Amino acid sequence: MEPKAASKDRFFIVIRGKSRRGFCRGCIGRVETETGRGELTGLMYGCSSNAGSPKNGGSVRTEDAYPLTRHQAQLLLYISSPSRRLEILCNPQLFLAICELTPGDLVVIRYKKGHVPGVVKNLMQIGKKESKDDLNMLGFEVEFVDSEDNLSPKQLGPLPIFSASDIIQVVPSYSVPLGLQYRDIKRDGSTGKVVMRINSMPSTGTSRRQVTKSQSERSVAPGRTQSEPPVPLEVGSLVEVVNNAGVAVYGVIRWLGIPEGKPETWAGVELDYEVVGCSDGVYKDQRYFTCKENCALFVPITKCSPDSRFLCSFTETETFNTTEIPPVPAYEESEEDAPPVPESEAASLFVGKMKGIQGHINSCYLDATLFSLFSSSVTVDAICNKPADKERPITCILKSIVNRLRRQGFVPAQSVMNFRKKLGCETFSKNEKDPEEFISVLFQKVLCIKPLLKLRSEGGNSHGAYTLQIFLEKEQMGQTPTVQKLLDTSCMSGDIKFETMPSCLIIQMPRCGSKYKMFSHIIPSTELDVTDLLFNSPRECFICGQMAKFECVQCLPDHKLQPGRIKQYCSTCNTQVHTHRSRCSHSPQALTVPEGVAADSPLPRRTMQLFGVLCIQTSHFVSFVKYGPDSHSWLFFDSMADRHGDDEKGYSVPEVRACPELGDFLGQPEEELTRANPALAPELVCRLLCDSYMYLYHSPKCQSRSQATENRSSV
């Protein structure tokens, strides 16, 4: 394998946006120039049959490009699908491990319809370099390895070449001496190598650094009954099970308990591969979990040992300090519903690593949404005054998730995965999703709640919705809009009104996933005034404060009348304003004035309070949650903040951080906020300003009602 030569060339991959001239999402480019407008121009690779030959790609915004080394660009270029290139970038730990592969490293390859272990033999250059600008693609020459019990004659021939996206797991070569050894075998006269398992574990009391005993001291004799494993095992632990013949199988514990008729604890293990005679999660006519057919093995817990394939690579890695991760205490289900966590207890319960909801397989959109809606907010509890059928399995699972989050401050990934599998579509358990899609399913099918919003559109048509998408042209707004101005402008431009005061308002910002965002940053409005967006509700004149009788959409952007504010007038002010020559062509519309409201009576403002924000960066969702009335009571939650172990066998480490600096920032006057430079703001404040995707508001009346009955959870 040739060394990776240093290069001054700058490469990148387009991760979002749609170019005006050439570049598209997933294309690889080489920088030629960088403009003062924050754009890159350069050559484009990977969008034709001859992927290594460049063509002029035009320009792309710097914020829409992700920098690459030459080596990374060459590896990604051999992946033919642009979407697969972006998919592997979403797993940075795995991708970096692939970039550092050396001969002899063990890998697991996605091959045909299964996963096959193999050994990296060489890094191969693919394609001819016919010009100086051509870029060779790079692939891995891999030799498959067989288990000792499955040796079949094979013809020697050229080894297959795989792309980076075919590799689903990397086991560094330094971990081989501990758990694996090579043994020469004969195949029709030719000599090959297989990987042979040494069934071994350090004895009880041995430190992580002292795994140096000889095999005779460490091995478990066939047929011998093992004692309780030295390392505590729990649901989610990676284990191996060795039968009396010495054959080992590997998997993850999916269930622990005492089956009917058994005196001791057993484990339900989901195996890595199918084994004839195993089930799909059923043992003696009782289902304990669900997996593929022939992949569920039930054995006494004493037959399980920690998976020795990964002991060395996990425990000797310096980049992850396990002492930073506190142990997760056992959790016992309770029949009583837990109320939302009060402000006085939220920080002590939630803040830290392994807190919040643990992410797994593209679940960040769901994790961030559930944490925002259920951790401390009482909004959904108040809405569910007519709860869904609590006997429905999916409702019971959600109830368990919410109760565990509110009582223990942590929900493991397996609990959430069980919930995802019940959402009615397989893609919810595997694919990336947008929060608004999940929210609709959550409220409509799980909680059986009618649409949160009742909207009245042009022509008097009424329809329901669970979220409200902002639609407008960028030219309608200034450089730094507030959520209030975005909402007012969008509703007025689309002639949309709320027929009733919302108890919960979820607003999507004007962007499409991670592909495109209209504004570089958006200023949050901690209080949202919806008075002028309510249909058939008394409103005051924009000029004099008397009862308004007319509304004018054309006055909305008028720079002489405070642009962005909704303009409604009494009869007198309407006449005066529209006598101006710049407004005489306007067409003010008459408002429906409620009966029984005196013209000079005081008109209260109807407001909503911000309680959560979902943010997105490179297809990854996080959330900010307001957990109490104090301005500094903010939490930041990331369900995949860190990673323990490799991408295939490790697990995500969720984290919740206190974010009082957000309260300091949002406490400034609006004029100062709109002039603020996000680059100079604290890290998390900058993240909220630049990456906001969805804002969550609730009605103060809803808040006070639910606080009075917080001990009656409806979830």
The answer to whether the CB of 107 falls within 8 A of the CB of 141 is: no
559 is catalytic: no
In the set 304, 364, 552, 555, the catalytic residue is: 364
Catalytic pick among 521, 578, 620, 698? 620
CA distance 533 to 536: 9
List, in sequence order, every residue forming a beta bridge with 1; answer none if it has no partner. Answer: none
- The helix (run of H) or strand (run of E) holding residue 511 is strand 511-512
Q: State yes or no: is 541 an active-site residue.
A: no
DSSP secondary structure string, 694-713? EEEEE-HHHHHHHHHTTTS-
Contacts of 453-460 with C-beta under 8 Å, sequence gap 24+, read: 453/498, 453/502, 453/505, 454/498, 454/499, 454/500, 455/496, 455/497, 455/498, 455/499, 456/496, 456/497, 456/498, 456/499, 456/535, 457/494, 457/495, 457/496, 458/494, 458/495, 458/496
* Cα 5 to Cα 537: distance, rounded to the nearest angstrom: 70
Which amino acid would we find at residue 530? Answer: V
Burial of 348 by CB count in 10 Å (0-12 exposed, 13-18 middle, 19+ buried)? Answer: exposed
Element of type H or E holding 512: strand 511-512
**How many residues make up the chain in this entry?**
715
Planar angle of CA 403, 698, 392, nearest 5 degrees: 35
**Phi, psi for 327 (deg, rounded to 5):** -65, 150
Give the C-alpha separation, 625 to 343, whole Å.
12
Task: Give Cβ neighbours of residue 445 (< 8 Å, ≥ 6 apart).
Answer: 394, 423, 424
DSSP characters over 636-679 = EEEEEEEEES-TTT-EEEEEEEE-HHHHHHHTS-HHHHHH--GG
For 49, residues 6+ apart whose C-beta sits below 8 A from its C-beta are none
Phi-psi category of residue 112: left, alpha or beta, with phi > 0 → left and psi -120 to 50 → alpha:
left
- Catalytic sites, residue numbers: 364, 620
